[in-house]
Amino acid sequence: MTPAETAVTPRKNSDVRNRMAIALDVDDLVEAARIAREVRPWFGVAKVGLELFSAAGPDAVLELVDTGYRVFLDLKLHDIPTTVRRTAQVIAAIDASYVTMHAAGGRAMLRAGVEGLAHGAAGAGVVTPVALAVTVLTSDDDVPPHVLGKRVKAALDAGCAGIVCASSDVREAKQLAPRLVTVVPGIRPAGASRHDQARASTPQAALAAGADVLVIGRAVTAAADRAKAASELVGSLALERRQRPEDAAVTPR
């Protein structure tokens, strides 16, 4: 089974929780672990970004894996191919489930990252992480229309198993590469502040567009009652899923 097939199995699982990623955008591992435990009943994936990884390093991934999460390591690798290959090889050994590289780096760089992840995982005896190419940041609303297609093609040609894109880009991306996993950040409940996300989306709209994994941060992590916020948000999606059982779902590996 390929990494993409391990991550996404269409029409076989109606568990919304496995499609939810909680963004732990904090600079302290103790706080990140506390948030992760509070919302664990509603989230199956935990995102570790540059802030938390810079503060805690690989320990952040290991802590969350031990808690039962699949970890989305969002480092957006972007450098010369040799550096990305070597970095990806090291990263793969810490057992993250998803690792991001920036598609702006081009096909050769993305291919180097994919190869590095496969080699590093094989050496560590762990499952190869799903390589995700970041297409266009959700904070960027001034990118020419052709850029998305160019970057999706680069991801596909390089052997990436998925992409990160805005909800508004999912349909086009799926038309170009229907088998790629689509991870969508910038998720906000209706009426919530967009903060710095110029191309934010409601979770319902993202799922309707065909998103496979939703990344949710401040709407839950900044709430006065995180458990309540998580329960209400994921509960509303679970109800919608029961009404639309034909949608795809993400299965835990």
* CATH number reported for the structural domain that contains residue 25 in this entry: 3.20.20.70
Break the chain down into helix, strand, coil percent, rounded to 5: 50, 15, 35
- The per-residue pLDDT for 17 is 86
In a domain, 9, yes or no: no
In a domain, 235, yes or no: no
- Residue 91 to residues 45, 116, 125, 173, Cα–Cα distance (Å): 17, 9, 13, 27
Neighbours of 59 (CB within 10 A): 13
Ranges of the chain whose pLDDT falls below 50: 1-14, 242-253
Q: Could you report the per-residue pLDDT of 164-187, keeping only the tens digit for each?
A: 999 999 999 999 999 999 999 988
In a domain, 242, yes or no: no
- Residue recorded with tokens 């679970």: 238
In a domain, 4, yes or no: no
- The per-residue pLDDT for 238 is 61
Into how many domains does the chain fold? 1
Domain containing 74: what range? 16-187+196-229
In a domain, 2, yes or no: no
Distance CA 168, CA 21 (A): 19
By annotation, the residues acting in catalysis are 76
In a domain, 153, yes or no: yes
In a domain, 157, yes or no: yes
